[in-house]
């Protein structure tokens, strides 16, 4: 009854004996709890956050709904394991384009081991985290029913330069996934507008300027929309969601300046696409990507 | 003709054979250029910034005026050395209260040596930089002509907790420097108001959300005001200035998320003092400070 999620673009994937999240056909997402500190933190976060009356509705909507914890047959065949049961964020979406962006120049919290800090710092420095304050963790862009999804390789996407990040954020809202010069055809209806992604990011920013309850390390923002709706003249339902709370710490009266700084940097990147959708300074940069990193797949419709 | 600055609260101090900045009696501040990369960066920053037409006037006023470089007899008696000639920021101020706040959870830039990074990271973790996104580097609060200044010891102030930082930010705008329960008597006229420090910090923040030319590592915000003016019923002339640009890097089209995050954290601390000036949760915390770290000195009036 449980199956591997179709639109997971980052993190551990279930399947072929591997442990990863599962979904059911009623819109629930089962995320296995890592057996260490991380699993405990993630469960504690969902429990505490979902009953936190200080979080306003216009902010809690950016988080997956939480349905408690449950013992579920693990995807790696290792038997019944504890999972957090969450909202399946792409449930009912048709051929969604999805981008997973890990926020913060620092992805390690105050209580990590020296080893873990070294490991995270290395990744932060080798990716764009340290320079941009965020890094792309994974993405899929729906092209057409024939071409399917464009999914760059995960190890590649986590090591790209600022200019390549800029270009992928443009490509994400462009009409032709195989063009090396993104046209940003959907920028104004996905990133822009009063219900667009930029507007949602700004709401989130205002909350982060004020909230001092939670510090989110190594947490991601998912950006999603449906290109086909746009082609039908409808709203592509642009939406952001926060995911991955295995490194959430108590804020202790201090704002999460690490997350906020990275969020502001992402906001600046998106704003620039809206003000200069025609910018072609970085065109051509992705030619190599197209030769080596295209993974066409059929759409799910 | 050149003399040791009276109100320098952080950084290397001139005097007794030591190299440090000097001032003249016309309002100029002579800062010796460190002989390495740092000196070169600081001089390059002032040269580039002072001729940068993209920086609006309401922002450039937050930076010391720059009068070029000059060979000056060094304070350590080592002969003529290159100095940057800057505006003396406390010139013409009478008994100024001054706080030096180093902004950013990370004080090392992208091109530092591995040794330098280790050294800075250690300091960032031992101080409040990593947790708060800023640390107090030094301060003086004018009390009365009789009691003079209250100047906490520099090694102590750089190692204090979040609650102690909170309390020192309250004490800074309180009427009695020897009271362990700060009354925040001057909070509304120093931090608050349309020309107060919070308002200036918010202007600076708006610029940092947008500017992608400079990344300021290990740079400080100085906060200054004159208590005696307030006691005379005048404005205490609250003012912020940015100083110390030995670790400024090109922004390369990315915002300075490290500085911005720390700045937003400081803004939150100051805002809270304005909304709850009566808060006494941390009262008593500074009793020890008073016993061990008071350095009374005569005022300069």
Say yes or no: A76 and A101 in one domain: no
- Cβ <8 Å between B254 and A265: yes
Say yes or no: A80 and A205 in one domain: no
Residue B77 lies in a domain: yes
Residue B102 lies in a domain: yes
Query: Which chain A residues have a beta carbon less than 8 Å from that of B267?
Result: 209
Say yes or no: B133 and B267 in one domain: yes
How high is the pLDDT of residue A111? 87
Lowest mean pLDDT among A155-169, B57-71, B285-299: B285-299
Interface residue B250 vs chain A (CB under 8 A) = no
- Cβ <8 Å between B110 and A133: no
| Alpha helices, H only, chain A | 37-50, 57-60, 114-126, 129-132, 154-157, 162-171, 187-190, 197-208, 227-231, 257-275, 287-292
What number is the average pLDDT over the span B171-176? 95
How high is the pLDDT of residue A285? 55
Contacts of B246 (CB under 8 A, 6+ apart): B34, B38, B39, B41, B42, B218
Query: Which chain B residues have a beta carbon less than 8 Å from that of A166?
Result: 253
Q: Report percent pLDDT > 90 for chain B.
A: 83
Rounded Cα distance, B260 and B256, in Å = 6
- Cβ <8 Å between A255 and B262: no
Q: Which residues pair with B141 in a beta bridge?
A: B150
Residue A14 lies in a domain: no
Residue A144's Cβ-side half-sphere holds a number of Cα atoms within 13 Å equal to 5
How high is the pLDDT of residue B34? 87
Question: Considering B69, B87, B105, which residue would you say is the last residue of a domain?
Answer: B87
Interface residue A131 vs chain B (CB under 8 A) = yes
Say yes or no: B167 and B75 in one domain: no
Total domain count, chain B: 2
How high is the pLDDT of residue A191? 98
Question: Considering B33, B59, B87, which residue would you say is the last residue of a domain?
Answer: B87
Question: Considering A64, A87, A110, which residue would you say is the last residue of a domain?
Answer: A87
Say yes or no: A160 and A258 in one domain: yes
Count of pairs with CB atoms under 8 A, one residue in A, one in B = 75
In angstroms, what CA-CA distances link A176 with A183, A207, B286?
8, 35, 63
Residue B184 lies in a domain: yes
Residue A240 lies in a domain: yes
DSSP one-letter string for A32-55:
EPPSSHHHHHHHHHHHHHHT-TTS
Say yes or no: B163 and B266 in one domain: yes
Say yes or no: B267 and B202 in one domain: yes
Structural domain of A102: 96-292
> Nearest to residue A167, comparing CAs of A151, A184, A153?
A184
Which pLDDT tens digit goes with each residue over A58-72?
999 999 999 999 999
Say yes or no: B276 and B160 in one domain: yes
CB-closest option in A110, A260, A268 to B131: A110
Interface residue A162 vs chain B (CB under 8 A) = yes
Residue B284 lies in a domain: yes
Residue B250 lies in a domain: yes
Say yes or no: A76 and A205 in one domain: no
Say yes or no: A108 and A71 in one domain: no
A28-37, A92-101, B172-181, B291-300: which is most confident: A92-101
Q: Per-residue pLDDT for B292 more than 50?
A: no
- Cβ <8 Å between B254 and A260: no
Q: For position B222, which CATH number holds?
A: 3.30.470.160
Residue B121 lies in a domain: yes
How high is the pLDDT of residue B286? 54
Say yes or no: A130 and A81 in one domain: no
Interface test with B, best of A254, A256, A262, A267 (most B CBs within 10 A): A254
Which pLDDT tens digit goes with each residue over B196-235?
999 999 999 999 999 999 999 999 999 999 999 999 999 9
Q: Per-residue pLDDT for A287 more than 90?
A: no
Q: Per-residue pLDDT for B281 more than 90?
A: no
Rounded Cα distance, A2 and A276, in Å = 44
Say yes or no: A170 and A224 in one domain: yes
């Amino acid at each position: 009854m449980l199956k591997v999620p179709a639109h997971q673009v980052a993190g551990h994937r279930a399947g072929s004996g591997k442990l990863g999240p599962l979904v059911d056909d009623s819109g629930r997402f089962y995320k296995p709890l890592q057996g260490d500190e991380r699993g405990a933190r993630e469960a504690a976060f969902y429990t505490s956050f979902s009953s936190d009356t200080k979080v306003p509705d216009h902010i809690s909507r950016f988080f997956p709904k939480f349905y408690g914890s449950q013992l579920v047959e693990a995807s790696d065949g290792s038997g019944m394991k504890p999972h957090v049961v969450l909202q399946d964020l792409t449930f009912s979406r048709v051929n969604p384009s999805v981008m997973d962006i890990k926020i913060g120049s620092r992805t390690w919290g105050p209580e990590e081991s020296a080893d873990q800090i070294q490991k995270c710092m290395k990744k932060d420095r080798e990716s764009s985290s340290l320079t941009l304050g965020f890094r792309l963790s994974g993405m899929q862009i729906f092209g057409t029913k024939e071409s399917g999804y464009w999914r760059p390789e995960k190890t590649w996407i986590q090591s790209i330069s600022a200019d390549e990040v800029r270009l992928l954020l443009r490509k994400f809202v462009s009409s032709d996934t195989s063009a090396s010069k993104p046209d940003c055809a959907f920028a104004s209806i996905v990133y822009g507008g009063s219900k667009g992604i930029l507007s949602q990011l700004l709401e989130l920013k205002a909350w982060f300027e004020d909230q001092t309850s939670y510090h989110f390390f190594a947490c991601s923002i998912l950006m999603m929309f449906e290109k086909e709706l746009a082609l039908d003249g409808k709203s592509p339902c642009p939406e952001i969601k926060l995911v991955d709370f295995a490194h959430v710490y108590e804020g202790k009266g201090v704002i999460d300046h690490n997350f906020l700084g990275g969020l502001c940097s992402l906001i600046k990147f998106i704003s620039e696409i809206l003000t200069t959708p025609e910018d072609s300074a970085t065109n051509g940069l992705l030619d190599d990507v197209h030769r080596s990193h295209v993974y066409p797949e059929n759409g799910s419709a």
